[in-house]
Every structure is written in C-alpha cells, then in structure tokens.
C-alpha cells in the first residue's frame, strides 16, 4: 500500500522536496552545459550527478511512500537529452 505525502513528517517531506530539487537543478545544469560547447568530462560528471540525484529521490520515494520505481521509467539523464538545442524546432510546429 502506498503512503500519501500528507502522512509524512515535516522532516520526511523536506527530504523528498530537497531530493526532488537536487534532481531538477542537476538536470537544468546538464541541459545548460550540453547546450554549449562543453568538454566531455564535464558532461559525463553531470550525467553521474543526475543518476545519483535520481537514485536518491527514488530511494526516498520507496522508503517513505512505498512507491517503487517502475521498470519502464527512463533515466532522467536520457530525458534531459530529449530537450537539446536541435529539438527546439519541434516546439515551433503549428497545430
């Protein structure tokens, strides 16, 4: 049975919020760096950081909320790659 976030203590809720913010900030930094001319080492370091932040968030979700990570869920570093400079053209498609 899953747990609602309303059932969490303030410390538990804060831990989840911090983990979520860390992942979002890391992905934002990764996108910023990969949009420019960055070196390979920096990109690889950020990919490792994204994976660590994502693992932390899923571990907290599992422990605190009993939310297992779905097997089909893609890595956050892969999702960040979907929004590259080259992909911006798809945002300009008229519907």
> Which pLDDT band holds residue 86 (cuts at 50, 70, 90)?
low
> Would you state the pLDDT for residue 18?
93
Task: Specify if 23 maps to a domain.
Answer: yes
Query: If DSSP codes are grouped into helix, strand and coil, which group holds residue 18?
Result: helix
Task: Specify if 42 maps to a domain.
Answer: yes
Residue range 45-73, pLDDT digits in tens: 888 888 899 899 889 989 988 888 888 87
State the total domains in the chain.
1
Task: Specify if 77 maps to a domain.
Answer: yes
Q: Rounded distance, CA 39 to CA 14, Å? A: 34
Task: Specify if 94 maps to a domain.
Answer: no
H or E element in which residue 23 lies = helix 10-35
The boundaries of the domain holding residue 26 are 10-88
> Would you state the pLDDT for residue 95?
41
CA nearest neighbour of 48 among 69, 30, 73: 30
Task: Specify if 30 maps to a domain.
Answer: yes
> Would you state the pLDDT for residue 56?
92
Task: Specify if 3 maps to a domain.
Answer: no
**pLDDT, mean of residues 14-24:** 91
> Would you state the pLDDT for residue 85?
53
**pLDDT, mean of residues 4-9:** 78
CB contact at 8 A, 5 and 70: no
Quick one: tokens of 35? 């949009």
């Amino acid at each position: 049975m899953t747990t609602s976030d309303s059932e969490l203590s303030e410390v538990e809720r804060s831990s989840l919020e911090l983990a979520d913010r860390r992942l979002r900030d890391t992905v934002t930094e990764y996108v910023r760096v990969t949009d420019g001319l960055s070196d390979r080492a920096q990109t690889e370091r950020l990919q490792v950081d994204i994976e660590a932040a994502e693992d932390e968030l899923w571990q907290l979700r599992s422990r605190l909320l009993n939310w297992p990570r779905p097997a089909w869920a893609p890595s956050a570093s892969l999702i960040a790659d979907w929004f590259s400079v080259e992909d911006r053209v798809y945002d300009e498609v008229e519907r």
